[in-house]
Amino acid sequence: MTEQKDRELYHWLRLIREFEGRISALDKQGKLSGGVYSGKGQEAVTVGFCHELRKDDWIFPLHRDLGAFLVKGSDPRRLMAQIFGRREGFSKGKDSYLHGGDLANGIFGATSMLGATLPVAAGMAFKFKIRKEDRVALAFFGEGASSRGDVHEAMNFAGVHKLPVVFVCENNFYAYSTPNELQFAVDDVADRAEGYGFKGDVVNGNDLHSVLKVARKAIDRARKGDGPTLVECKTYRYHGHSEHDRADYREAEEVITWESRDPLMLWEVYLEKKKYDAEAIRRETGERVRKIVDEAVAFAEASPPAEGPEAMEDLYAMPIDTEGH
Ligand SMILES: Cc1ncc(C[n+]2csc(CCOP(=O)(O)OP(=O)(O)O)c2C)c(N)n1
């Protein structure tokens, strides 16, 4: 890869970390309403997959995939306004982070029912196939969500129709406090792909190089019409399930072990080994992402909340007028 590309990928990793770090701090200051679900530690997954997508592809992120919005092209200022629940956010002040999609950038909003977006992703991929468009739908979900019936239906349907969809399981070892051994009886979630008639891959989700390689293959396969892939990324969330969860169900050693596999640190080692001026890249990137996040917070804080009557807007689709009226 070129130095420019290596720097660009580092920029995304750092921007997500800075953005989420700021949200955690704002939450502690009582400035946000609604839950905050930090993906700190999982950045290489969203960067690796979203970086390989085209603008006209669609993603279906869940509660811990805020980074996917940034890499797929959302304006950081509008994303922050969404998190503040302000009028300039995607939901125009009617919701916090969780359910806001950014339709102009091909990002479908999450639903509270985990896994319920996967059949929608399969449906969108079905549309692409019917229209003979070489576009891809990509759905993120946790290993906890993988136990839902919707997930089975989506994968089965996608396998039968060989749809251009990529299913990305972020296995961070805990669904809230439920560990893997109480979640599924197979070795890997990816083992299930065989039962649906398509390929399953397991990848180190903290190593951006590995994620990029698998992501490219899965996305190319979908785009070429060779059907779905289930990719399981083994990764770890440093924070608790949400900011109020101290995550006492984990051993300190386990957390430390994973922090020593930090995706940003690994990429910094790579930049050094490539003999770039890693120190300068680190400094310049840090300054740039801090500025982006400062501006996003200032924009969000200046954005007004919605007025009462606006609560009734955008609730229903306009009826389709078949009579030409
Ligand atoms: C169907 C459903 N069951 C339970 C919940 C409550 N809940 C929200 S997040 C969560 C943990 C999900 O774990 P996982 O899917 O592994 O994703 P992670 O939070 O680890 O990223 C639970 C149980 C929910 N939102 N939807």
Tens digit of pLDDT at every position of the chain (325 positions): 899 999 999 999 999 999 999 999 999 999 998 889 999 999 999 999 999 999 999 999 999 999 999 999 999 999 999 999 999 999 999 887 788 899 999 999 999 999 999 999 999 999 999 999 999 999 999 999 999 999 999 999 999 999 999 999 999 999 999 999 999 999 999 999 999 999 999 999 999 999 999 999 999 999 999 999 999 999 999 999 999 999 999 999 999 999 999 999 999 999 999 999 999 999 999 999 999 999 999 999 999 999 988 888 888 887 777 676 5
Task: Give the residue, out of 113, 114, 167, 181, with the most ligand 1 atoms within 8 A of its beta carbon, to mutate for a pocket test.
Answer: 114
How many angstroms separate the alpha carbon of residue 233 from the centre of ligand 1? 17
Task: Count the neighbouring beta carbons within 10 Å of the beta carbon of residue 255.
Answer: 16
Tokens for 289, please give them. 């992402």
Helix H or strand E encompassing 178: strand 178-179
Ligand 1 center from residue 63 Cα (angstroms): 9
Distance, CA 230 to ligand 1 centroid (Å)? 19
For the residues of 75-121, what is the DSSP string, one character each? -HHHHHHHHHT-TTSTTTTSS-GGG--BGGGTBPPP-SSTTTHHHHH
Distance CA 220, CA 226 (A): 9
Q: What is the pTM of this model?
A: 0.96
Which ligand 1 atom is the nearest neighbour of the CA of 174?
20
The protein residue whose alpha carbon is closest to atom 20 in ligand 1 is 175
State in Å: Cα 92 to ligand 1 middle: 26
- Give the position of tokens 């490219």: 216
Q: Is the CB of 113 under 6 A from ligand 1?
A: yes
Q: Is 143's C-beta closer than 6 angstroms to any atom of ligand 1? A: yes
> What three-state secondary structure class fits 183?
coil
Asked whether 212 lines ligand 1 (CB < 6 A), one says no
